[in-house]
Amino acid sequence: MWRKRCCIENDSLVPSTTSSSSSSSISVSGKGRFVSLGFPFSGDSEEEDMGFLEVVVSDMKHPPPELGPMPDGLSPQQVVRRHILGSIVQSETSYVDSLKRILQDYRHPLMEMEPKALSARKCQVVFFRLKEILHCHSMFQIALFSRVAEWDATEKIGDLFVASFSKSMVLDVYSDYVNNFTNAMSVIKKACLTKPMFLEFLKKRQMASPDRVTLYGLMVKPIQRFPQFILLLQDMLKNTPKGHPDRLSLQLALTELETLAEKLNEQKRVADQMAEIQQLTRSVSDRSSLNKLLNSGQHHLLLCETLTETVYGDRGQLIKSKERRVFLLNDMLVCANINFKGQLEISSLVPLGPKYVVKWNAALPQVQVVEAGQENSPYDKDNVVLQNAGAKKHVSSSQSSNKVYLGPPRLFQELQDLQKDLAVVEQITLLISTLHGTYQNLNMTVAQDWCLALQRMMRVKEEEIHSANKCRLRLLLPGKTDKSGRPISFMVVFITPNPLSKISWVNRLHLAKIGLREENQPGWRCPDEDKKSKAPFWCPILACRIPAFSSNALDLQLGAVVHNPVQSSLLGFSAVSTSLPQGYLWVGGGQEGAGGQVEIFSLNRSVPRTVKSFPVASQVLCMEYVPEKGQEEPEQEKAEDSRSAADQPPAPHPTVCLGLQDGSILLYGSVDTGTQCLLTCRSPGRQPVLCLKHSPEYLFAGLQNGTLAAYARNNGGLWDLEAPPTCLEVGTGPVRTLLTLDDTVWASCANQVTVLDAATLQAQQTFEAHPEEEASVTHMTKAGSGVWMAFSSGSSILLFHTETLEHLQEINIATRTTFVLPGQKNVRVTSLLICQGLLWVGTDQGIIVLLPVPRLEGIPKITGKGMVSLNGHCGPVEFLAVAVSTLAPDVLKNDKEEEGGQEERPDGPSPEPSALDKPPAREMRKKGILLQYRLHSTSHLPGQLLSVKEAPPASGGTALEHSEEDGTIYEMADDPDVWVRSRPCARDAHRKEISSVAIISGGRGYRNFNPGSKLPACSETDSTLLIWQVPLML
SS (H, E, C) 674-718: CCCEEEEEECHHHCCEEEEEECCCEEEEEECCCEEEEEEECCCCC
Q: Are 336 and 301 in contact (CB under 8 A)?
A: no
- What is the pairing mode between strands 384-386 and 487-495? parallel
The edge-to-edge listing of strands for the beta sheet with 867-869 is 524-525, 867-869, 848-852, 838-843, 829-835
1008 in Cβ contact with 1017 (< 8 Å): yes
Whether the Cβ atoms of residue 678 and residue 655 lie closer than 8 Å to each other: yes
Report the sign of the C-alpha dihedral through residues 799, 801, 802, 805, in that order: negative
Q: How far is CA 549 from CA 135, 542, 875, in A?
A: 62, 20, 17
Residue pair 807/853 in contact by the 8 Å Cβ criterion: no
- pLDDT score of 573: 59
pLDDT for position 818: 76
Neighbours of 183 (CB within 10 A): 14
How far is it, in rounded angstroms, from Cα 71 to Cα 73? Answer: 7
**R_g over Cα of the chain:** 34
Contacts of 763 (CB under 8 A, 6+ apart): 728, 754, 755, 756, 757
Q: Enter the pTM of the model.
A: 0.77
- Farthest-apart Cα atoms in the chain, separation: 116
pLDDT in the model for residue 424: 92
From 497, 463, 475, 456, select the one nearest 572 (Cα to Cα). 463
Residues in the chain: 1034
Give the pLDDT means over successive 10-residue stretches in the chain (1034 positions).
Answer: 34 33 33 33 38 51 69 89 91 93 92 88 92 92 89 89 89 91 88 87 89 90 91 93 91 92 86 82 74 76 89 70 89 85 56 76 88 51 46 40 46 81 90 87 85 86 73 85 77 86 89 90 73 59 90 81 75 67 90 87 85 91 86 44 43 83 90 76 91 91 93 80 88 93 92 92 92 92 93 92 93 83 81 91 92 88 87 92 78 54 37 36 45 62 53 40 29 28 33 77 89 68 89 73
Cα distances (Å, whole numbers) of residue 157 to 72, 162, 731, 857, 1002: 21, 9, 41, 17, 45
Sign of CA dihedral 842, 844, 847, 850: negative
Q: Which residues of 466-498 are buried (b: 16+ CB within 10 A; e: fewer)?
A: bbbbbbbbbbbbbbeeeeeeeebbbbbbbebee
Burial tier of 335 (Cβ tally within 10 Å: 0-12, 13-18, 19+):
buried
Please name the helix (run of DSSP H) or strand (run of DSSP E) that holds residue 424, with its range, or none: helix 409-432
At 11 the pLDDT is 33
- Measure the N-to-C terminal CA separation of the chain; round to a whole number of Å: 50
- Classify the C-alpha dihedral 418-423-424-426 as positive or negative: positive
Instruction: Check if the beta carbon of residue 508 is closer than 8 Å to that of residue 1031.
Output: yes
What does the alpha-carbon distance between residue 639 and residue 633 come to, in Å, rounded to a whole number? 10
Contacts of 615 (CB under 8 A, 6+ apart): 595, 596, 597, 598
Burial status of residue 530 (CB atoms within 10 A of its CB: 0-12, 13-18, 19 or more) = exposed
Residues 6+ apart with CB under 8 A from 6: 13, 14, 15, 16, 26, 27, 28
What ranges in 127-246 are assigned the alpha helix state H?
A: 130-149, 151-154, 158-165, 168-194, 196-208, 215-219, 221-238
